């Protein structure tokens, strides 16, 4: 593996990364030690892929430094950006269990270092242990809820709310000390994440900038007013007030009280 980092402290680095990762943080010391000892550090340069859509799943990747982004591309040039993964985030979590190929590309956004935990090592430690499997099920539940929220966002909320949500999500924990969080991706990437046209994204970003909620930085967007951005993100402005499908209040129950 040409990306492998051979260093005397690789195991300790992997162990420290696992301890900061939500799934592994409460796992027994012995289990974390086995995972760290059997894993390896890998370095990827900007634009280099850690895995591709359709590749066999060889394990889980946990971001140590830098960040990866996940995406799907099509032969006609279209691309859907799924997520940006900062340190402590992981990929390969679904495929490691179902044995199916990887569902997306994972690419370094700038130089990145990841910890790779081999699939068989992970399964040998987790499958026989009911407590660890419970952690896994809880993680899958959290991811399912995020997926449900994303579907809701895409089907009923306006582009303005969608853009506010995605920016707010990606400022979590970022540059908090400066008081002005930033998202380090372009308006084109915003469109690729949400399936919106460049024109729509430009229009909505321009309005948020006029309202002094956002500002343009160098290859990033700066959040000038987090509270007002959150107000936009958690509003329920509909996708369209004239479309055939518009959310309406739920009707009164037709079931008897004793049901």
pLDDT in tens, 229-243: 999 998 877 654 444
Which two structure tokens, joined as six digits, stand for 196? 């919106």
21 pLDDT above the threshold of 80: yes
What percentage of the chain exceeds 90 in pLDDT?
63
User: 46: pLDDT confidence band, cut at 50, 70 and 90?
Assistant: very high
- The matching CATH number, chosen from 1.10.10.10, 3.10.450.50, 3.40.470.10, 1.10.240.10, for 157-233 is 1.10.10.10
pLDDT tens column, 130-148: 999 999 999 999 989 988 8
The pLDDT value given to residue 2: 59
Q: What residues does CATH 2.60.120.10 cover in the chain? A: 4-145
251 pLDDT above the threshold of 50: no
pTM, entire model: 0.80
Over residues 234-257, the mean pLDDT reads: 51
Q: What residues does CATH 1.10.10.10 cover in the chain? A: 157-233
227 pLDDT above the threshold of 50: yes
User: 173: pLDDT confidence band, cut at 50, 70 and 90?
Assistant: low
Contact 171, 221 (CB under 8 A): no
114 pLDDT above the threshold of 90: yes
Q: What's the CATH number for 4-145?
A: 2.60.120.10
pLDDT tens column, 188-224: 889 999 989 999 999 999 999 999 999 988 878 999 9
Q: What is the mean pLDDT of the chain?
A: 86
The pLDDT value given to residue 160: 94
Which two structure tokens, joined as six digits, stand for 249? 């209040």
What's the full length of the chain, in residues? 259
């Amino acid at each position: 593996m040409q990306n492998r980092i051979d260093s005397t402290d690789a195991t300790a680095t992997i162990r420290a990364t696992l301890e900061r990762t939500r799934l592994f943080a409460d796992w027994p010391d012995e289990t974390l030690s086995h995972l760290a000892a059997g894993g390896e550090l890998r370095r990827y340069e900007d634009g280099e892929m850690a895995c591709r859509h359709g590749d066999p799943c060889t394990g889980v990747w946990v971001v140590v430094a830098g960040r990866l982004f996940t995406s799907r591309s099509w032969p006609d040039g279209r691309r859907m950006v799924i997520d940006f993964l900062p340190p402590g985030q992981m990929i390969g979590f679904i495929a490691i269990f179902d044995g199916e190929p990887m569902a997306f590309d994972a690419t370094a956004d700038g130089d990145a270092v990841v910890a790779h935990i081999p699939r068989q090592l992970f399964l040998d430690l987790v499958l026989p242990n009911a407590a660890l499997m419970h952690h896994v099920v809880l993680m899958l539940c959290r991811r399912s809820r995020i997926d449900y929220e994303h579907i809701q966002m895409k089907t009923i909320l306006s582009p303005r709310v969608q853009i506010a949500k995605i920016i707010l999500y990606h400022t979590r924990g970022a540059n908090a000390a400066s008081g002005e969080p930033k998202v380090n991706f372009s308006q084109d990437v915003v469109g690729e994440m949400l399936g919106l046209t460049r024109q729509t994204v430009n229009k909505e970003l321009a309005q948020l900038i006029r309202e002094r909620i956002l500002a343009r930085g160098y290859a990033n967007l700066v959040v000038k007013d987090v509270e007002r951005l959150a107000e936009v993100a958690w509003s329920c402005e509909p996708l369209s007030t004239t479309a055939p499908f518009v959310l309406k209040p739920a009707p009164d129950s037709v079931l008897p009280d004793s049901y």
